């Protein structure tokens, strides 16, 4: 990937027809936009006359001929200044053509088809050795970013770094990683990139980035996401709420993570905040917290409810776990009342039946044990 204004290296493998490498001779390279290929002969002579062809030297280490050139940019056209380039020619498809003679007089190919194509990206190269170019579409390549700046529409090819600063990067793409030290970096509409932050704050808005590696740093997310984070987010587990709850029941919440504190823990039932019992010192460390709570089913309507537990880390990132549980305390109570009324009615019916039976028995005994009624005898 090549950019406007970037120092580039040309490497040419030059061989005889039998495959033997050419090690002695005189060779040069000519770079030009592919759109000017029809003017190749004229342009090459102009460059040759101006001494601006790229001279190549043999490198025994690579067994190739090498040379250096600065690609054109709005700041300067470098070794292509004699071509009369316009701003439209600073990026896009280019060709490089190598020409020359070996020490024993063997020339290189003379057809235009021997050129090699390459592409200059529409970004201005910045490697950190000069003042930052002005305007959008800067390619920061292995650079120390300015400590205070708003950078828009740029490309970051890592590793890049910023320290002791406060910068905003908008509508940009990040390739590679960015090292952030003692700084605040705000990303708006940014994609890609891994961030190593130490003693810093990252603010992500409408952005999607890669890995976050945090040391004594904080992250704020606004409609943004990341692929991974170190330290990892806390894990949460809840036990004791299985089955249907009829009354009061205890449950436990266990959290494992890094840089934890009980004050970072919040909980709610169906959206209403509840208070969990504070853990004892033995149940609370920087990497683990265990708390307990009591669920009173009689204070909730019968049905399915949701317990939501959220725990944050010192870096501002958090984990949330939602657990559903069921209660039927009111139904159980109603069933108990109905059962009591049924039992009372049943007892009452039994008592009535017993009374009827007793009365019938008494009446029957009265009829069987008494004699015929006395009859008075009349006297004359």
Can you tell me the distance from the alpha carbon of 250 to that of 239, in angstroms, rounded to the nearest whole number?
A: 9
Angle, CA of 160, 163 and 164, to the nearest 5°:
160
Of 159, 157, 162, the closest CA to residue 138 belongs to: 157
Which token pair is 152? 């828009």
pTM metric for this prediction: 0.74
Give me Rg for the CA atoms of the chain: 45
Can you tell me the distance from the alpha carbon of 266 to that of 289, in angstroms, rounded to the nearest whole number?
A: 12
Q: Are strands 138-141 and 155-157 parallel, antiparallel or unpaired?
A: parallel
Fold of 2-124: Immunoglobulin-like (2.60.40)
Residue ranges, comma separated, of all CATH 2.60.40.10 domains in the chain are: 235-329
β-partners of residue 168 are 150, 186
Q: What is residue 229's predicted lDDT score, i.e. its pLDDT?
A: 93
Write out residues in the chain with pLDDT < 50, as ranges.
374-377, 379-380
Which token pair is 151? 């950078």
* Sequential DSSP letters for 267-322: EEETTEEE-PBPPPGGGB-SSEEEEEEEEEGGGS-SEEEEEEEEEE-TTS-EEEEE
Can you tell me the distance from the alpha carbon of 138 to that of 85, in angstroms, rounded to the nearest whole number?
A: 20
| Cis upstream peptide for 159 (omega within 30°) | yes
Tally of CB atoms within 10 A around 215: 13
Can you tell me the distance from the alpha carbon of 212 to that of 226, in angstroms, rounded to the nearest whole number?
A: 7
CATH superfamily membership of 235-329: Immunoglobulins (2.60.40.10)
Q: What is residue 236's predicted lDDT score, i.e. its pLDDT?
A: 92
β-partners of residue 178 are 160, 195
How many angstroms from the chain centroid is the CA of residue 112?
49
Q: Are 169 and 151 contacting, i.e. CB atoms less than 8 angstroms apart?
A: yes
Q: What is residue 250's predicted lDDT score, i.e. its pLDDT?
A: 86
Q: Are strands 92-102 and 116-126 parallel, antiparallel or unpaired?
A: antiparallel
β-partners of residue 162 are 180
């Amino acid at each position: 990937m090549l950019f406007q204004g970037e120092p580039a290296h040309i490497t040419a493998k030059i061989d005889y027809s039998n495959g033997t490498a050419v090690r002695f001779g005189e060779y040069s390279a000519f770079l030009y936009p592919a759109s000017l290929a029809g003017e190749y002969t004229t342009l090459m002579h102009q460059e040759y006359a101006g001494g601006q062809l790229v001279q190549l030297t043999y490198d025994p280490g690579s067994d190739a001929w090498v040379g250096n050139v600065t690609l054109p940019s709005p700041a300067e056209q470098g070794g292509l200044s004699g071509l009369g380039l316009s701003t439209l020619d600073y990026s896009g498809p280019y060709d490089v053509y190598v020409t020359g003679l070996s020490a024993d007089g063997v020339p290189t190919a003379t057809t235009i088809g021997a050129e090699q194509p390459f592409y200059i990206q529409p970004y201005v190269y910045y490697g950190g050795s000069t003042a930052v170019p002005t305007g959008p579409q800067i390619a920061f390549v292995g650079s120390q970013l300015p400590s205070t700046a708003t950078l828009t529409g740029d490309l970051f090819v890592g590793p890049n770094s910023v320290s002791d600063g406060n910068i905003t990067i908008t509508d940009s793409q990040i390739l590679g990683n960015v090292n952030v030290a003692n700084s605040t970096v705000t990303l708006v509409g940014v994609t890609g990139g891994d961030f190593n932050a130490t003693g810093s704050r990252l603010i992500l808005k409408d952005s999607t980035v890669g890995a976050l590696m945090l040391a004594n740093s904080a992250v704020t997310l606004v409609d943004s996401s990341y692929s991974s984070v170190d330290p990892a987010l806390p894990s949460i587990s809840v036990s004791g709420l299985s089955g249907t709850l009829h009354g009061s029941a205890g449950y436990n919440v266990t959290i494992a993570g890094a840089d934890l504190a009980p004050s970072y823990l919040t909980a709610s039932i169906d959206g209403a905040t509840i208070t969990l019992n504070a853990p004892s010192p033995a149940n609370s460390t920087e990497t683990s917290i265990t708390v307990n709570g009591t669920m009173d089913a009689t204070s909730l309507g019968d049905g399915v409810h949701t317990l939501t537990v959220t725990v944050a880390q010192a870096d501002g990132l958090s984990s949330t776990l939602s657990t559903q549980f069921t209660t039927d305390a009111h139904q159980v109570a109603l069933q108990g009342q109905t059962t009591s009324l049924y039992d009372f009615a049943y007892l009452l019916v039994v008592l009535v039946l017993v009374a009827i039976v007793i009365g019938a028995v008494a009446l029957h005994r009265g009829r069987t044990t008494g004699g015929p009624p006395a009859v008075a005898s009349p006297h004359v």
